[in-house]
A and B are shown apart, each in its own frame.
Chain A
Amino acid sequence: MTYTFHWEVPLQNLPLFLWGALATLEISGIAVLLGLLIATCGALARLSKHRLLRGAATVYVEVIRNTPFLVQLFYVYFGLVVVGINLEAFSVAILTLTINCGAYCTEIIRAGIQSIHRGQTEAGLSLGMTQWQVFRYVILMPTLRVVWPPLASQFIATMLGSSVVSQISAEELTYAGMFLESRTFRTFEIFFAIAILYFVMARLFSFLFSLTGQKVFREAWGQL
């Protein structure tokens, strides 16, 4: 009744794992980029003077942040069929992850924008900058500089959270592992290998973010 380890199972199936890891990077990479775009618009809407815009953004953020990701996933995958939209699992995975990531990042960016003193905007305008210039150089770039670390940790959370999408048969790293598990039943060895891959990807993510952070914001600071 002693458990015998079979490490050759994950080792022999390394290509399957690497393919899964790439799919995970694809899903979470797209979700993070689109999520950031949504979040920027969302944050502006949250701080907008228009009540309707503000209300819509608030509803979006509150609904997404106060329901489980798995429920959102099933809702989009099976629920949209009722209104005649039948998407395949991979698209649903990216769509739902984008919406989810967008809501969390909206709050992070909103907090960042609010941390910038109103006086700075006025100063920018009085220097003769256009509305767009003020938004870009006085609000957006300094905001991103401040919120980059919390954004990075949200992005990593999104990447790790993407493991849930295997539940609707979207194929990524966890799906690859569970598929192999269903054929070889080497649960421990396989999940150990998956854990290592997720860890490496998370480190890679945070390395990339700190690198781009340093590059982008040093220049942005210089322009100001």
Chain B
Amino acid sequence: MRRHGRSWGWIAVLGIVLALAWTASASAAESTLDQVLKRGKLLVGIGLGAPPFGMYDADKKPTGYDVDLAKLIAEELKVEIEWVDTTSVNRIPYLLTNKVDLVIATFGNTPERAKQVAFTKPYSSWNLVLLGWKKDRNIKSYKDLKGKTVAVTRGTTQDIAITKLAPEAKIVRYEDDPVAMLAFEQKKADVMPTAEVLALKKVKENKDMEIKGLVSRSWAAIGVRRGDPDWLQWLNTFMDWHGGQGKFAELFEKWNGVQMPVALPRW
């Protein structure tokens, strides 16, 4: 038994060392703004599995609304971009461990997330709708989901919204959007809440699907680490400037083919 007692002691020591290392890596003296300018490179956390916001083009290069926005930021800072592909699951950890300078990845600025990361003003908005099957006539909205199976990507605004709105539904959570969509298409789930633009595209492709009403409205903003006012201030100034020029409305229409559904804060 003595041997066991000692090994537990070592585990405790290892835990403390790891915890300290974590803290040390997360702290930095100068603002991310100065770091980026000095480095000449912007580390952008992007989500490339969420068309039309982030995806790969035919040449395997990042493209989409979020990608255009990141390029515009880099242009203003006069720095190069290094793309870091993130998922809705790992984007906050990537930000908190300094793997990226900012996250532009259909990142909804919810109050809960804002306890962990800081958000800029929103640059986009969209409607979340319920995608379902025509044959399920008794499902008309999220109110009819008692005992039904709902596919979502874990931790997304869809997940948060439907968990709250349909407490009696069976919610199955997947790692990323393509897997969740595949599970829904294979009828492992009855419905899937998703962005309206994506749902419209799916309904056009598959005549058996239909949209079962609105779930919630959501915004997208740029996420940065908390406690770095200089960096947040610069990004908000950028947002004010380009928002004032109507740049975001223009980019949304370019990629989605429709107007932005909910009006953004006016400048």
Chain A residues within 8 Å of B, Cβ to Cβ: 1-3, 5, 78, 81, 86, 88-89, 166-169, 175, 178-179, 181-183, 185, 187-188, 192, 199
Contacts and interface: CB of A to CB of B under 8 A. Distances in A.
A2 B27 contact: yes
- Secondary structure dominating the interface of A: helix
Contact of A185 (B23, B116, B154, B228): B116
Contact of B112 (A81, A179, A183): A183
Contacts of A78: 182-183, 186
Contacts of B146: none
A84 B79 CA distance: 52
Given A3-B26, A182-B154, A88 B188 contact: yes
27 contacts: A1-B28, A1-B226, A2-B26, A2-B27, A3-B22, A3-B26, A3-B96, A78-B183, A78-B186, A81-B188, A89-B172, A167-B175, A167-B179, A168-B174, A168-B179, A175-B173, A178-B154, A179-B154, A181-B89, A183-B112, A183-B155, A185-B92, A185-B96, A185-B113, A187-B93, A192-B18, A199-B11
B227 interface: yes
B212 interface: no
A81 to B, nearest CB: 5
Nearest to A192: B15
Interface in B169-222: 172-175, 179, 182-183, 186-188
Interface residues of B, number: 36
B263 interface: no
A94 B26 CA distance: 39
Nearest to A5: B19
B66 interface: no
Given A1-B228, A3-B22, A89-B172, A182 B159 contact: yes
Nearest to A89: B172
A179 B26 contact: no
Given A78-B182, A167-B175, A1 B225 contact: yes
Interface in B126-156: 154-155
